[in-house]
Amino acid sequence: MSAPLEPEVGALLEEAQRAFRKEFGSEPTLAVSAPGRVNLIGEHTDYNDGLVLPMALELVTVLVGVPRLDGLISLVTTSEYADEPRRVEFPLPTADQPLEPGMPRWANYVKGVIQHYPASPLPGFSAVVTSSVPLGGGLSSSASLEVATYTFLQQLCPDSVAAVMRAQVCQQAEHSFAGVPCGIMDQLISLFGQKGHALLIDCRSLETCPVPLSDPGVAVLITNSNVRHSLGSSEYPIRRRQCESAAKALGKKSLREVDMKDLEARKELLTKEEFRRARHVVGEIQRTSEAAAALSTSNYKTFGRLMVESHNSLRDDYEVSCPELDQLVTLALSVSGVYGSRMTGGGFGGCTVTLLEADAATRVMKHIQDQYKGTATFYLSKAADGAKVQPL
């Protein structure tokens, strides 16, 4: 007997199966899912070889499909992407004709993973993509699509690479097909999330350590600001460069190798801006280590304080917050039963994450709904598993 499906995944799978029948006139034989993520703390540290503490969400991207023999790949999405076609078809890549990014943009994440997939020969396939991860909401809708694609390709042509290499292939797809020089956090957590746990990831050694997060008295509330400032995409690579040049000026391989005392003592080697960026990263790595220890002893007060310090540092030193995220954090913190709140993900819009007593959640959502100047959307998700093959 197959294990019962989580309701979220079950409904999505049915939607994807229905769409598959309609588009391709047959039954899909394969199905996979990969989750979005929320990062509890450790922001903008992954590309500095630092520590991060994300958890996988119950929000997932699913892919259902069948292999085909004509060397073509046919993809359909049930999600709405402004003005982009929902169906696309292209041939398998060859050495002479590799895949290249193009339109529709949503398919680039799938193409990128196919292009970089480390096993062969891949057959063609038809597939439908469906997702409950909000698009562009800072909850890693793109990483969940990359990881779902990878997991789907494994069913067509098994790979034999080390587990972390799978995350690196998906990251490579994002770099070269979506043009985003992201770190490794989103892909690692989407692959290796564990139900009831956050995952402490050391982005230097790529070691992961599950930290229990299943206390029924505590909840994680995600609040979507429903804004995404266009600045985000241009500022991310700038932050990355500033961190690299700060590390170089200090004679280090990365900011992971720098401690706060060292940074303060050699401040004059950096521009004022580089110093503030580095102060965020060095402080955030320290906070993430303390937060993981606090979580493992159920010290939610300390965890919450570190979340607030993280937000303030992202706002003031790293300058990746925005008025909407700041307002959501302030509103959450003014309600009793809230341990801490902060922006999560790349910034410039997207979501906040709030740690709170489970029975405070309704109060907090109501307060935010009444006071927030925009329209907020809420997700109360438990820590979920990473990518899976789903029974059909």
Q: Which is nearer to ligand GLA, 127 or 167 (CB)?
A: 167
Q: Does 349 bind ligand GLA (CB under 6 A)?
A: no
CA–CA distance, 189 with 18 (Å, rounded to integer): 29
* Catalytic annotation, residues: 186
> How many other CB atoms sit within 10 Å of the CB of residue 42?
24
Number of residues that bind ligand GLA (CB under 6 A): 11
Q: Does 182 bind ligand GLA (CB under 6 A)?
A: yes
Relative to beta strand 30-41, strand 87-91 is unpaired
Site map for ligand GLA, 35-54, x if CB under 6 A? ----x---xx-xx-------
* Identified binder of ligand GLA from the candidate list 36, 112, 340, 345, rule CB under 6 A: 345
State in angstroms the smallest separation of the CB of 171 from ligand GLA. 8
State in angstroms the smallest separation of the CB of 36 from ligand GLA. 11
Q: Does 285 bind ligand GLA (CB under 6 A)?
A: no
Q: Does 186 bind ligand GLA (CB under 6 A)?
A: yes
100 Cβ contact list (under 8 Å, min separation 6):
111
For tokens 């990746």, the residue is 320
Q: Which is nearer to ligand GLA, 340 or 346 (CB)?
A: 346
* Identified binder of ligand GLA from the candidate list 12, 57, 129, 185, rule CB under 6 A: 185
Running DSSP on this structure, what letter comes out for residue 384? B
Q: 4 in the Ramachandran plot: left (φ > 0), alpha (ψ -120 to 50) or beta?
A: beta
CA–CA distance, 126 with 139 (Å, rounded to integer): 27
Among the listed residues 154, 164, 196, 386, the one whose alpha carbon sits nearest the alpha carbon of residue 295? 196
CA–CA distance, 134 with 126 (Å, rounded to integer): 24
Stretch that binds ligand GLA, among 1-9, 114-122, 180-188, 333-341 (CB under 6 A): 180-188
* Identified binder of ligand GLA from the candidate list 346, 356, 386, 390, rule CB under 6 A: 346
Q: Which of residues 45-104 bind ligand GLA (CB under 6 A)?
A: 46-47
Q: Which of residues 104-163 bind ligand GLA (CB under 6 A)?
A: none
* Identified binder of ligand GLA from the candidate list 65, 124, 137, 183, rule CB under 6 A: 183
Cα distances from 177 to residues 68, 77, 112, 370, in angstroms, run: 24, 18, 5, 41
CA–CA distance, 103 with 178 (Å, rounded to integer): 11
| Helix/strand/coil for 234 | helix
Q: Which is nearer to ligand GLA, 17 or 142 (CB)?
A: 142
Q: Does 284 bind ligand GLA (CB under 6 A)?
A: no
Stretch that binds ligand GLA, among 12-20, 178-186, 208-216, 303-311 (CB under 6 A): 178-186
Q: Which is nearer to ligand GLA, 28 or 138 (CB)?
A: 138
Cα distances from 175 to residues 124, 143, 167, 191, 341, in angstroms, run: 24, 11, 12, 18, 30
Among the listed residues 103, 78, 38, 57, the one whose alpha carbon sits nearest the alpha carbon of residue 352? 38
Which residues of this chain interact with ligand GLA, rule CB under 6 A?
Answer: 39, 43-44, 46-47, 182-183, 185-186, 345-346
